[in-house]
Structure 1
Amino acid sequence: MNVIERIEHWGDAHHPRWLDVVRIALGIVIFLKGVTFLADTESLRQLIEQTHIKIYTWGIVHYIAFAHLVGGILIAIGLLTRVAIGFQLPVLIGAVFFINSTRGFSFLNSELWISLVVLVLLVIFFVIGSGPYSLDHQMRERRT
């Protein structure tokens, strides 16, 4: 049993059921953030350009919107949860360390705190998995 399988086994064995409600809420919040990004892609583009990182800005804007929309749905229903979180982690790490750092690390920067909470929850669910109320769990049950 390799390290990843041991982490998955530990996460499945130590997953309280109430955390599924948190996972579903997290997926919905991420999905809604993707909807707001699609509604105003110009402000997202300007936000990324403020970091002065030389990247293809429109490509990143589309990646963020797609990752939030699809990833949010997958996290909420618990399907391929770790894969969806894997696509979310670079976005949230960038949001915490690059985007929100331009606004300053203060208690008044509410976007920073929301991004930090979402990042911590994503890391938690990456380790412990999707839980018993998920499509991943239902598919695993049907296989055995």
Structure 2
Amino acid sequence: MNVAHELNHATPRNSASNPVWMDGLRILLGLFLFIKGILFLEHSSDLFYVFSQSQDFIGMHKASMFTSAVHIIGGLMIAFGFLTRLALLLQFPVMLGALLIVNPQQGINLSNTELWMSGAVVGLLLFFMIVGPGRYSVDNKVLRNQK
């Protein structure tokens, strides 16, 4: 009887009640994606090689710029917690492409750290889609109605 009473009168839980370590992890994920986007711009010739196997030159340039822009803008949005779930959602196609198409070309083994890192990032993207941005985010401070 007591458990049923507690379930009926439970206080609503939002992402502002998440532990602080989750905010730190979200910020680190956003910074990692931001840095990865800048590295894509610096090593665009490597991206051209990967994309050249299935696309023409114009498509390669668009794919390279799209990948970099999504990581740079989305990474900053995730780090600051601004429209976090939208930024996480936009990262999924790029990260799933890296996980399923690009990284397995080097083989699925323990020495392929990019493959494992892509898997971890996809896992973190799913995690933050579920738990939300946290208390130290623009979503929580500005966009959520304060009661």
Q: In the comparison of the two structures, how many residue pairs are matched?
A: 135
Larger Rg: 2
**TM-score, scaled relative to structure 2:** 0.83
**CA distance in 2 between partners of 1:69 and 1:142 (Å):** 28
The equivalences for 1:4-19 within 5 A come to: 12=15, 15-19=18-22
- 1:96-111 residue pairs with structure 2 within 5 A? 96-111=99-114
Unaligned 5+ residue runs, structure 1? 1-8
Residue pairs, 1:22-61, within 5 angstroms: 22-50=25-53, 52=54, 56-61=59-64
Name the CA distance, whole Å, in 2 between partners of 1:125 and 1:11.
13
Q: Percent of counterpart pairs with the same letter?
A: 35
Aligned equivalents of 1:60, 1:43: Cα separation in 2 = 12
Distance 1:141 1:56, change over 3 A: closer
Q: Which runs of 4+ in 1 moved over 6 A?
A: none
For 2:35 and 2:63, how far apart are their aligned partners in 1? 18
Instruction: Say what the alpha-carbon RMSD is for the aligned residues.
Output: 2.1
TM-score using structure 1 length: 0.84
What do residues 97-119 of structure 1 show as CA deviations (whole Å, max 9, x unaligned)? 00011111110101001111111
